[in-house]
Amino acid sequence: MMIRKDLREGKYEGVVTRFPPEPNGYLHIGHAKSIVLNFGVAAEFDGRCHLRFDDTNPETEEEEYEKAIIRDIRWLEFDWGEHLYYASDYFERFYGYAVELVEKGLAYVDSQSEEEIRETRGTVTEAGRHSPYRERPVKENLELLERMRAGEFPNGAHVLRAKIDMASPNMKMRDPLLYRIRNVPHYRAGDAWHIYPMYDFAHCLEDAIERITHSLCTLEFENNRDIYDWVLENVSIPRPRPFQTEFARLSLTHTVMSKRKLLSLVKGGFVSGWDDPRMPTLAGMRRRGYTPAAIRKFCEDVGVAKANATVEIERLEHAVRDDLNTKAPRMMAVLRPLKLVIESWPVDEVEWLDASLWPRDVPKEGTRRVPFCKELYIERDDFMEEPARGFRRLYPGSRVRLRHSYIVECTGVEKDEDGNVVEVRVRHDADGSGKKPKGTIHWVSARHAVDVPVRLYGRLFSEPHPESHPDKPYEEFIDKCSLEELTAKGEPELANVESGSHVQLERQGYFFADPTLTEEGRPALNRTVPLRDTWAKVSARAGLEKAAVPDGGRKKAAAEPDEGRPVGEATASAEPASQGAAGRAPLDAEALGLRDAHGLSSEQARLLASRPDLRRFFEAALQVHDAPASVARWVVNEVAALTKHRELEELPITAGGLAELARLVDEGEVAAPAAKTVLDEMSRLGESPREIVERMGLAESVDSTLLEALVREVIAAHPAEADRCRQGKKGLIGFFMGKVMEATGGKASPSDARKLLERHLGG
C-alpha cells in the first residue's frame, strides 16, 4: 500500500527489496515471514529482491551458516537470480564513506574505553556527556582511522563514532559507533581488515549501494531509523535513496524464536540439533515434513502489520494439513497394535485388496494392493471393552468397517492373566449385506506387516506463551514428552515410501520419511502433524466431566453454565467513575479565563490554553467572526487535526479565512459537509472560503423536492440494501447517506437527508 503510493508519486522507478540475513545461525519461521514479504512485494511490483549476507561481525559468522541459509531459501523456492551480495564486498566503500564523514567533521575517533563510552552515554532520562576526543582535529582522526584499519591497535583501543547529539532523546543517536577494531580474520574477507563496520553504519549503505528502494525490517529497529536517515543524508550516495519501514516480527505459540533461546535448546540437549523436527527452524520443519508451500501460505495468511502479535500454532498446522491433503497418498499402519482374529476366515487364505491411495475428494488416481487374512492388527485405541458414550469403534457386539475391506462384528476377547485384552475376535460379513456400521478403522495383516520406526512429534512447549511468565523461565515449559518413538506395523506398501516423501497414515496424521534416517525399503517416519481428531476432543471433554461427577453432580448440566457470574460484579466495581471529565486535572487560570470569557467548554478551553498557536489563531478569528462557540469548534476539532503533522504557521490557512468559513456555515450559506471540503481546499491552496465555494459550486442549493428525488433515486439504485435496511439493518442508513451526500456534492443538509431516508427506509 505504502509502496503503491511511492510508485504513484514517482519516488522510484521500480521496487527493489532485499533479505539481509547475518550468517551466524539458522533461519526460522520468523525469517520465512520476512523472506516471503521481501520476495513477495518485489514480485508483486515486478521488481527484484536481493539476497545479501550482512556479514559485518567476523566473530560470529561462518560459511556453514551461509550455506544453510542459502539452502533454506532455495527450499522455500525463492530465487534471487544473480543478485547475491555480501556486505563484506562493500568494506572498501564503507571505509570511503567513513572518511567522507570524518572530513565533513561528522565523525571522530574516540579513544575512550568501552566502559567510559557506556557511562557517558547517559540514560533514557538523562543526556549523555561529550567524549573528550569529540573535537579531535579532522587530520588526526584521519590518521588514527588509517592506523586502525592497518591493525596498529589492539581491540577496543579506539572506535569511530558519528558526531550527532549526545543529548538526543533517542539513545541511538548519541554519537553511535561506526567502526570497532577487531583483530580477527573474516570468513570471506580474510585478514584484509582490522576494523569492521557496525550495523547502523553498514546496513543503510548496503541498501543504498544496491539501490534498494524499500528496506523492510522488524519493529525493534524503529529507533535506528534516525541513524539510517542521518548516514544516508550525510554521505554521497546515489539518489533516490532507500527508506526503512518496519513491520512486526512473527511470534508463534508453543515455541520460542530467538536465536539465543534456540541455541540453548540445542546446547542443553533438549533437542537433537538445529534441525530437530520440533524446532521452528526451517531445517527442522523441513525434516518434520512441513512443505515450502504450506510455510509460504501461512506467512501470507498471517499478514503484515505493525502490532506485536503472536500467531497460534494451529494456524501453521492448518496450512500444513491443507497442503498435504492433496499431496500425501494414504496408507495404513498401526501404531499400537492389538491382535484381531477373524473367526470366520480360513487360516491360510490371503485376499489382496485394491485400495485407493486417495480419498474421494482428491482428484488423483492410483491404488495399491493390501493383503487381508485371518490375523490382523488394529489400533488399541479402536477397541474398548466397555465403550464410552459415543464410541463408534470396536467393542463386544459392535460392528465396524475395516477400511478398504470387510465389515466385522465383535464376538469376544481374549485376556491375559492380568485381565488385559490381548486379542479381539470378530466374524466378518462376507457379502456386505448387513446394515452399515457406524465406524471405520484401519488395520494391517499381521503376517504381512512391516516394522516401521515412527517418531511422534508434539509441541516443544506445553505452554502457549513460554516466554510470558515473569516468575518462570521458558525452559520450565519444555514438554519432555514432545517426542515419542515407537515401531509401527505397516501395510507392505509402506516399505516402498521413499526418503523425503509424504504419506498420510489414515486416521492418524501426515508423516514424512526422514531423509537422514530412512534406509532403502525401511522408511523412518516423522509425524508431521496429526489429523484433526474430533473424537479425541469429545472423549477428553467427557473424561473431564466424569472426573467432576463423583461428588454426585449431574453430568454436564453442572459443568455448562460455569461460575462466570461474578463478571457482572467485576465490571460494575471497576470504578470507571474516577476517569471521566470529573477526574481530570482542574483547569488552570488561563484555561478558566478562556472558558469564561468566551463561554467555551472546559475541554475546548484546556486545549486552547495548552496550545498557544491555536489560541492566537482562535482569537484572531474572533476578530473577523465573533462567534466563539462555532469558531472554537472549528479550531479545536478541525484545525488541530491539520496541525498533526505540520506546524500551523506552515499551513496556508489563515485565521480570517477560517472565520469566514465559520460564518458561511453559521449563516446557512454552506452545509457542514461541504464546509469540510472547503477547509481541505483552504489548507492546500490557501484560497479564501468564498473563492472555493464559488469555484466548486458548494453554496447550499438543494431544495427539498430535489433532495427527495435524489433520495428516491439512490434507494432505487440499491434495492437489495434497501430491503435489508427495511428489515432492520439500520447501519445501512449510513450507506445511503453516503450515496446521497455524494450525489449532492455535500451541499444538502444532512439532517434533512437523513430524515428523508429514514422515512423511506423506516418500514
Partner RNA sequence: UGGGGAGUCGUCUAACGGCAGGACUUCGGCCUUUGAAGCCGACUAUCCAGGUUCGAAUCCUGGCUCCCCAGCCA
- Separation CA 26–CA 5 (nearest Å): 35
Binding mask 576-615 for RNA (x = CB under 7 A): x--xxx--x----------------x-x--xx--x-----
Please identify, among the stretches 35-43, 88-96, 435-443, 448-456, the one whose residues bind RNA according to the rule CB under 7 A.
435-443
Measured from the CB atom, is 124 or 347 closer to RNA? 124
Least distance to RNA from the beta carbon of 440, Å? 4
Among 34, 38, 56, 482, binds RNA (CB under 7 A): 56
Among 159, 256, 426, 631, binds RNA (CB under 7 A): 159
Contacts with RNA by CB under 7 A: the residue count is: 121
Q: Are 252 and 227 spatial neighbours (Cβ–Cβ below 8 Å)?
A: no
CA 184 vs. chain centroid, Å, equals 38
Least distance to RNA from the beta carbon of 418, Å? 26
Please report whether residue 759 would count as binding RNA according to CB under 7 A.
no
- Separation CA 591–CA 596 (nearest Å): 9
Among 192, 219, 422, 544, binds RNA (CB under 7 A): 219
Q: Respond yes or no: is residue 249 known to be catalytic.
A: yes
In sequence order, what are the residues at sequence separation of 6 or more whose Cβ sits closer than 8 angstroms to the Cβ of residue 606? 587, 591
Measured from the CB atom, is 83 or 676 closer to RNA? 676
Q: Which of 71, 121, 134, 249 is catalytic?
A: 249
Our CA dihedral for 260, 263, 267, 273, rounded to 10 degrees, sits at 170
Please identify, among the stretches 139-147, 423-431, 478-486, 575-583, the one whose residues bind RNA according to the rule CB under 7 A.
575-583
Q: How many CB atoms lie within 10 A of CB 392?
A: 15
Please report whether residue 18 would count as binding RNA according to CB under 7 A.
no
Q: C-alpha angle with apex 525: 523 to 526, nearest 5 degrees?
A: 155
H or E stretch at 143 = helix 138-150
Q: What are phi and psi of 517, to 5 degrees?
A: -115, -20
Among 194, 254, 296, 507, binds RNA (CB under 7 A): 507
Measured from the CB atom, is 142 or 640 closer to RNA? 640
Amino acid at site 389: R
Residues 661-700 interacting with RNA (rule: CB under 7 A): 672-673, 676
- Separation CA 216–CA 52 (nearest Å): 13
Q: Are 154 and 165 spatial neighbours (Cβ–Cβ below 8 Å)?
A: no
Measured from the CB atom, is 374 or 442 closer to RNA? 442
Among 93, 134, 147, 172, binds RNA (CB under 7 A): 172
Please identify, among the stretches 10-18, 174-182, 447-455, 654-662, the one whose residues bind RNA according to the rule CB under 7 A.
174-182
Residues 612-631 interacting with RNA (rule: CB under 7 A): none
Please identify, among the stretches 69-77, 272-280, 557-565, 574-582, the one whose residues bind RNA according to the rule CB under 7 A.
574-582
The residues pairing with 339 across neighbouring beta strands, listed in sequence order, are 377, 423
Q: Which of 134, 211, 259, 726 is catalytic?
A: 259
Among 75, 133, 153, 221, binds RNA (CB under 7 A): 221
Q: What is the CA radius of gyration of the chain?
A: 36
Please report whether residue 567 would count as binding RNA according to CB under 7 A.
no
CA atoms within 13 A of residue 452's CA, in its CB half-sphere? 36
Measured from the CB atom, is 403 or 522 closer to RNA? 403
Copy the grid coordinates of residue 747. Answer: 451541499
Please report whether residue 164 would count as binding RNA according to CB under 7 A.
no
Q: Which of 22, 206, 210, 467 is catalytic?
A: 22
Give the 3-state secondary structure of 550-569.
Answer: HHCCCCCCCCCCCCCCHHHH
Please report whether residue 636 would count as binding RNA according to CB under 7 A.
yes
Among 5, 267, 436, 554, binds RNA (CB under 7 A): 436
- Separation CA 46–CA 42 (nearest Å): 6
Residues 531-550 interacting with RNA (rule: CB under 7 A): 531-535, 537-538, 541
Q: List the alpha helices (DSSP H) in 645-688.
A: 655-666, 672-685
Among 403, 427, 465, 522, binds RNA (CB under 7 A): 403
Copy the grid coordinates of residue 450. Answer: 512391516
DSSP 152-179: -S-TTS-EEEE-S-TT-SSGGGSS-EEE
What SS3 state is found at 341?
Answer: strand
Least distance to RNA from the beta carbon of 539, Å? 8
- Which stretches of 248-291 are assigned E, i.e. beta strand? 250-252
Please report whether residue 220 would count as binding RNA according to CB under 7 A.
yes
Q: Are 460 and 479 spatial neighbours (Cβ–Cβ below 8 Å)?
A: yes
Residues 78-137 interacting with RNA (rule: CB under 7 A): 112-114, 117-118, 121, 123-125
- Separation CA 39–CA 50 (nearest Å): 8
Measured from the CB atom, is 259 or 522 closer to RNA? 259
- Separation CA 418–CA 411 (nearest Å): 21
Measured from the CB atom, is 120 or 688 closer to RNA? 120
Q: Respond yes or no: is residue 259 known to be catalytic.
A: yes
Among 17, 141, 215, 224, binds RNA (CB under 7 A): 224
Q: What are phi and psi of 195, to 5 degrees?
A: -125, 145
Residues 375-394 interacting with RNA (rule: CB under 7 A): 390-393
Determine if the peptide bond prior to 240 is cis (ω within 30°).
yes
Least distance to RNA from the beta carbon of 272, Å? 26
Burial class of residue 416 in the structure, from the number of CB atoms within 10 Å of its CB (0-12 exposed, 13-18 middle, 19+ buried): exposed
- Separation CA 756–CA 167 (nearest Å): 61
CA-based diameter of the chain, in Å? 110
Please report whether residue 22 would count as binding RNA according to CB under 7 A.
yes
Please report whether residue 156 would count as binding RNA according to CB under 7 A.
yes
Least distance to RNA from the beta carbon of 759, Å? 14
Least distance to RNA from the beta carbon of 17, Å? 16
Least distance to RNA from the beta carbon of 721, Å? 6
Please identify, among the stretches 11-19, 65-73, 175-183, 486-494, the one whose residues bind RNA according to the rule CB under 7 A.
175-183
Tell the residue number behind the cell numbers 550495523, with chain if given. Answer: 199
Residues 642-661 interacting with RNA (rule: CB under 7 A): 644
Among 352, 396, 721, 726, binds RNA (CB under 7 A): 721
Please report whether residue 181 would count as binding RNA according to CB under 7 A.
yes
Please report whether residue 255 would count as binding RNA according to CB under 7 A.
no
Among 69, 101, 262, 302, binds RNA (CB under 7 A): 302
Please report whether residue 2 would count as binding RNA according to CB under 7 A.
no
DSSP 28-94: BHHHHHHHHHHHHHHHHTT-EEEEEE----TTT--HHHHHHHHHHHHHTT---TT-EEEGGGGHHHH
Least distance to RNA from the beta carbon of 516, Å? 27
Please report whether residue 401 would count as binding RNA according to CB under 7 A.
yes
In sequence order, what are the residues at sequence separation of 6 or more whose Cβ sits closer than 8 angstroms to the Cβ of residue 34? 19, 216, 218, 249
Least distance to RNA from the beta carbon of 504, Å? 6
Q: Just list the catalytic residues.
A: 22, 249, 259
